[in-house]
Chain A
Amino acid sequence: MDTQTEDIKLTAKDFTTDQEVRWCPGCGDYSILKQVQTVMPELGIPRENIVFISGIGCSSRFPYYMETFGMHSIHGRATAIASGLKATRPDLSVWIVTGDGDALSIGGNHLIHLLRRNFDVNVLMFNNEIYGLTKGQYSPTSPLGKVAKSTPMGSVDHPFNPLALCLGADSTFIARSMDRDPVHLREILKRANAHTGTSMVEIYQNCNVFNDGAFEVFTEKATKKLNTLFVEQGKPLTFGLNNEKGIKLDGFKPTIVNVADVSANDLWIHDEKDQVKASILVRFFDAGGSEDALPRPFGVFYQEERFSYEKAFNAQIEEAIAQKGKGDLDALIRGKNTWTI
């Protein structure tokens, strides 16, 4: 989202509250909090114009650690609360902090409606593929067969592909990052802020207590380069230890090629504005680590300009006033037909 900036000199410390951070030691949330606090001063938005709203879950403690306005609400509803706030206060920079359970399970309905309406807000969805706060049940993003507290024989739920879901709901900005790549995460946060409309950011976050290593193939040095694909606008899709591998589109089918074997023009060039390509890119969802698996993409998948809900919503108010004049309370109460006795 995009809010008017002004010249103010703040630091990450100015966005830190006096509250003790209470996530488990080693939790990926610490890194995300740090990157958000680091990026905030660079956005140039006065602290009092920033609001963090969360639902319920480990990630949802987030607002208490941000020295801005904040609300720690109820499970799944941060998106809906933010909608009402943004509709009435378009001047604010609104950030929704949510998790995979909060956003996709109990709050799934609000999320898709937030996206189609395209409120100019930012959604940071911490995906750890587990319910942490309730101590280890499988979540809507847990892989099939996940053995968790509530699924001793393995989960039989087919998991959501979160970004495919969001694109299906006509999201205007879709990105993915991870807790273990601070530089990339900060870059994505800035991009999300700059986008006018709902910026949907999925952040892979390690829950070292209940789901340790869920994303390690994407986040750890030894395997990261082979299993991840960092997309950049206008650049070919390449990956591998020395970017020796690339993605070529064979019709609509993405295939892995050796960069050396093809001409540069044959490689898929990333275009954030191309919804069809984005819909293929979000489907790069193979389990990491297998031999012929497509790499997991990170970066901004898709970005489109579309009017934001609050803009159209408030324009109607202006239009009504222009057409009928500012409301006259006496005339309203009186109505059209009266009689006097």
Chain B
Amino acid sequence: MSSTTEIKNNVVILFAGDSGDGIQLTGSQFTTTAALYGNDISTFPNFPAEIRAPQGTIAGVSGFQLHFGSEEIFTAGDAADVLVVMNGAALKANLKQLKPGGIIIANTDGFDAKNLKLAKYPEGVNPLKDSSLDKYKVYEIDVTRITRTALEGSGLGTKEMDRSKNMFVLGYIYWMYNRSLDNSIEFLKEQFKKRPDLIDANIKVLKAGYNYGDTVETPMNRYEVKPAPVSKGTYRSIMGNQAAALGLIAATQKAGLTLFYGTYPITPASDILHELSKHKNFGVKTFQAEDEIAAVTSAIGASFGGSLGITASSGPGIALKGEAIGLALMLELPLVIVNVQRGGPSTGLPTKTEQADLMQAIYGRNGEAPVPVIAAYSPSDCFDTAFEACRLAIEFMTPVFFLSDGYIANGAEPWKFPAAADLPEIKVAFAKNNLKEGEKFLPYKRNEKLAREWAIPGTKGLEHRVGGIEKENETGNISYDPENHELMVKLRQAKVDRIAEYVPLQTIDNGNAKGKLLVIGWGGTYGSIKTAVKDAIAEGYDVSHAHVKYLNPLPKNLGELIKGFDKVLMPEINSGQLIKIIRDKYLVDAKGLNKVQGLPFSSVEIKNKIVEMLSSNNE
């Protein structure tokens, strides 16, 4: 064995192959193993919209980017140190993501004439054979052949054998980074419970990959990435959509309510449904409706009956729900609307990330229809934000938007999870009949939060009618009175505004409370901004970072906080949406940094802008 071991602080590996190559599984297996070992970690899958796009083509390439380190990690990494490619198309699609001098591990079988043609390399060109990859370290392995050899006599057909190729790669990467196979072996045993032959085959190939590293005479280095100095505690790995589902369950459990989830399948929100539907023993009721409108209206019906109605979708589905969200706010019933944002408009980029539905969430309804909007900033934060969305909906009797996005929904990170007992209590008080003789129930009478009472069917004496048509203050009877309408419009707005009294003040995430430049972000850009600001501060720049979770209403102190800085920079994965609101509300000359490519920011992109703004003299 000619390898030596090198210590690294952090490493980015990008696994790429055909969407049928099991890339997502390979990536998530390495993620779990690295997390169990104690690395800090962040991941980002990148898969095609088509379930099985034509094999071997660029359109069919599936990727999984994984950033792990012995230091704090906030993003899936700007560029890869290691690129694992199962075929020519995967190389072509991802080479620009690889750092100069980076490592390419290539499955040579995926670079035969047929695959090269599918990947649209010119006739006779094989990137492994010409000098185009000279600035990288290339390791060619005939994964297919070795896998088949390892499984000789297993009784499996060639097709089934080839399905284990990803385990070979995984085993090899485990060898490169000195990782134990135990976690993946356990996983395989569970995964193929009903097919013992496949358990054996996959474990065999996994070990073959590991042993290949050990025995083959290549000048390949091994690397060690030590555990990260993260705060003490017990962790698990969590994906954003999974965290959202758990947050919704936790909130309804704390509130003692039934969770009703009305939804219609849509990328990238469906995984919340999949997760919730596994937990019916929590009384979780998932309803796959006939369309997006039925999804939200069935949730409204459930809330009317005293459950917590929740609906989820992505942009196009949210557009369809618009009228019903307006109804929910007129009825003043709790409703949580989850939008896992994707690239738009229209069908847009279903599997890509974007933050372009903020205006839709805040303003996207007919009439003056204010709805609270909060956004999660990382995979694990989806738990807290989903929980908070439920709390606000229940305590203020209002629909609430919970914004996530494709990046954090599918991304994963370690999560120092809370104990159920430490989660905040959510108080639910259904209206009781305390009426005196002859007194009428007033469904739209309000408490100090301007919330009306939740009077559910089955409560004797509280029979009443609600509706989408304008209603008289307090009685809820239909009213066309001009003054009453204006009063009701103002009351509905005041109720949402008052939420600012009951949510945390805006804090500075990193940097000083006053200074030259404040970077304001929201949602899934957190990791990139965090890394950029951390690096800039380390280089001596006077820059701070504030990440806004409460987007409507905005935190009470945000205006004051902004005044403490000479300049404001607002990176967004859209053409500038929150910036319009901030400029409008605080009359501040904030500058935008905008990217609309269906991809997250790299931290370098943001850091360069920080440096540019702090270096210019046009103050």
**Chain A residues packing against B (C-beta within 8 Å):** 17, 19, 46-51, 53, 63-64, 66-74, 77, 80-89, 91-92, 109-110, 113, 313-314, 316-317, 319-321, 323-327, 329-330, 332-335, 337-341
Please give, as numbers and ranges, the residues of chain B lying within 8 Å of A51 by CB-CB distance.
304, 457
The answer to whether B457 touches A341 (Cβ under 8 A) is no
CA distance A139 to B230 in the complex (A): 66
Chain B's nearest CB lies how many Å from the CB of A284? Answer: 30
Taking A81-B304, A88-B307 as given, write out 8 further A-B residue pairs in contact, using a Cβ cutoff of 8 Å, ordered by the A residue number.
A50-B457, A82-B301, A88-B260, A92-B458, A109-B291, A313-B287, A320-B281, A338-B234
Count how many chain B residues have C-beta atoms less than 8 Å from C-beta atoms of the other chain. Answer: 71
Please give, as numbers and ranges, the residues of chain A lying within 8 Å of B418 by CB-CB distance.
333
The answer to whether B419 touches A74 (Cβ under 8 A) is no
Chain A's nearest CB lies how many Å from the CB of B312? Answer: 14
The answer to whether A341 touches B236 (Cβ under 8 A) is no
Among the 9-residue stretches B146-154, B156-164, B246-254, the one with 4 or more Cβ atoms under 8 Å from chain A is B246-254
Please give, as numbers and ranges, the residues of chain B lying within 8 Å of A339 by CB-CB distance.
35-38, 234-236
**B338 close to chain A: CB less than 8 A:** no
CA distance A332 to B32 in the complex (A): 18
The answer to whether B302 touches A80 (Cβ under 8 A) is no
Interface residues of B in 106-135 (CB under 8 A from A): none
CA distance A82 to B262 in the complex (A): 13
The answer to whether A73 touches B468 (Cβ under 8 A) is yes
The answer to whether A334 touches B260 (Cβ under 8 A) is no
Please give, as numbers and ranges, the residues of chain B lying within 8 Å of A89 by CB-CB distance.
305-307, 457-458
Q: Contacts A48-B462, A77-B324, A337-B32 hold; do A71 and B417 have CB atoms under 8 A apart?
A: no
Please give, as numbers and ranges, the residues of chain A lying within 8 Å of B307 by CB-CB distance.
88-89
User: Per a CB cutoff under 8 Å, which of A69, A73, A74, A325 touches B464?
Assistant: A69
Interchain Cβ contacts under 8 Å between A and B, 29 examples:
A19-B478, A49-B457, A63-B467, A64-B467, A73-B467, A73-B468, A83-B287, A83-B294, A84-B297, A84-B302, A84-B305, A85-B457, A87-B260, A88-B258, A88-B285, A88-B306, A89-B458, A91-B458, A92-B305, A314-B285, A321-B283, A327-B282, A332-B279, A335-B417, A337-B35, A340-B235, A341-B230, A341-B232, A341-B234
The answer to whether B458 touches A338 (Cβ under 8 A) is no
- Which of A53, A80, A325, A337 lies at the interface centre, i.e. has the most chain B CB atoms within 10 A of its CB? A80
Contact pattern, B 442-461, Cβ under 8 Å of A = 1, otherwise 0: 00000000000000011111
Please give, as numbers and ranges, the residues of chain A lying within 8 Å of B234 by CB-CB distance.
334, 338-341
User: Per a CB cutoff under 8 Å, which of A71, A74, A326, A341 touches B466?
Assistant: A71
Closest to A327 in B: B282
The answer to whether A85 touches B304 (Cβ under 8 A) is yes
The answer to whether B236 touches A77 (Cβ under 8 A) is no
The answer to whether A317 touches B460 (Cβ under 8 A) is no
Please give, as numbers and ranges, the residues of chain B lying within 8 Å of A63 by CB-CB distance.
465, 467
- Which of B249, B294, B309, B466 lies at the interface centre, i.e. has the most chain A CB atoms within 10 A of its CB? B294
Please give, as numbers and ranges, the residues of chain B lying within 8 Å of A327 by CB-CB distance.
249, 253, 279, 281-283
The answer to whether A333 touches B250 (Cβ under 8 A) is yes
Closest to B467 in A: A72
CA distance A284 to B548 in the complex (A): 64
User: Per a CB cutoff under 8 Å, which of A68, A71, A80 touches B331?
Assistant: A71
User: Per a CB cutoff under 8 Å, which of B231, B305, B469 touches A88?
Assistant: B305
The answer to whether B300 touches A84 (Cβ under 8 A) is yes
Please give, as numbers and ranges, the residues of chain B lying within 8 Å of A329 by CB-CB distance.
249-250, 253, 282, 420
Closest to B460 in A: A48
Contact pattern, B 276-300, Cβ under 8 Å of A = 1, otherwise 0: 0001111111010111011001111
Please give, as numbers and ranges, the residues of chain A lying within 8 Å of B559 by CB-CB distance.
none
Please give, as numbers and ranges, the residues of chain B lying within 8 Å of A319 by CB-CB distance.
280
Please give, as numbers and ranges, the residues of chain B lying within 8 Å of A324 by CB-CB distance.
281
The answer to whether B249 touches A316 (Cβ under 8 A) is no
Please give, as numbers and ranges, the residues of chain A lying within 8 Å of B283 by CB-CB distance.
317, 321, 327
The answer to whether A85 touches B294 (Cβ under 8 A) is no
Top 5 nearest A-B pairs (CB, nearest first) are A84-B301, A84-B298, A72-B467, A327-B282, A320-B280
CA distance A50 to B477 in the complex (A): 19
Closest to B417 in A: A333
The answer to whether B304 touches A71 (Cβ under 8 A) is yes
Please give, as numbers and ranges, the residues of chain B lying within 8 Å of A340 by CB-CB distance.
233-235
**B566 close to chain A: CB less than 8 A:** no
The answer to whether A332 touches B285 (Cβ under 8 A) is no
CA distance A82 to B280 in the complex (A): 21
The answer to whether B327 touches A338 (Cβ under 8 A) is no
Please give, as numbers and ranges, the residues of chain A lying within 8 Å of B419 by CB-CB distance.
330, 333
The answer to whether A333 touches B301 (Cβ under 8 A) is no
- Which of A17, A47, A51, A83 lies at the interface centre, i.e. has the most chain B CB atoms within 10 A of its CB? A83
- Which of A77, A333, A335 lies at the interface centre, i.e. has the most chain B CB atoms within 10 A of its CB? A333
Closest to A319 in B: B280
- Which of A68, A69, A91, A314 lies at the interface centre, i.e. has the most chain B CB atoms within 10 A of its CB? A69
The answer to whether B290 touches A49 (Cβ under 8 A) is no
Q: Contacts A84-B287, A91-B458, A340-B233 hold; do A68 and B463 have CB atoms under 8 A apart?
A: yes
Closest to B234 in A: A340
User: Per a CB cutoff under 8 Å, which of A50, A67, A84, A325 touches B260?
Assistant: A84
Please give, as numbers and ranges, the residues of chain A lying within 8 Å of B420 by CB-CB distance.
329-330, 333
CA distance A340 to B232 in the complex (A): 7
**B70 close to chain A: CB less than 8 A:** no
CA distance A77 to B289 in the complex (A): 12
**B227 close to chain A: CB less than 8 A:** yes
Please give, as numbers and ranges, the residues of chain A lying within 8 Å of B258 by CB-CB distance.
88
Q: Contacts A80-B298, A339-B38 hold; do A317 and B463 have CB atoms under 8 A apart?
A: no
Q: Contacts A337-B183, A338-B235, A341-B232 hold; do A81 and B290 have CB atoms under 8 A apart?
A: no
**B531 close to chain A: CB less than 8 A:** no
CA distance A9 to B461 in the complex (A): 15
Closest to B183 in A: A337
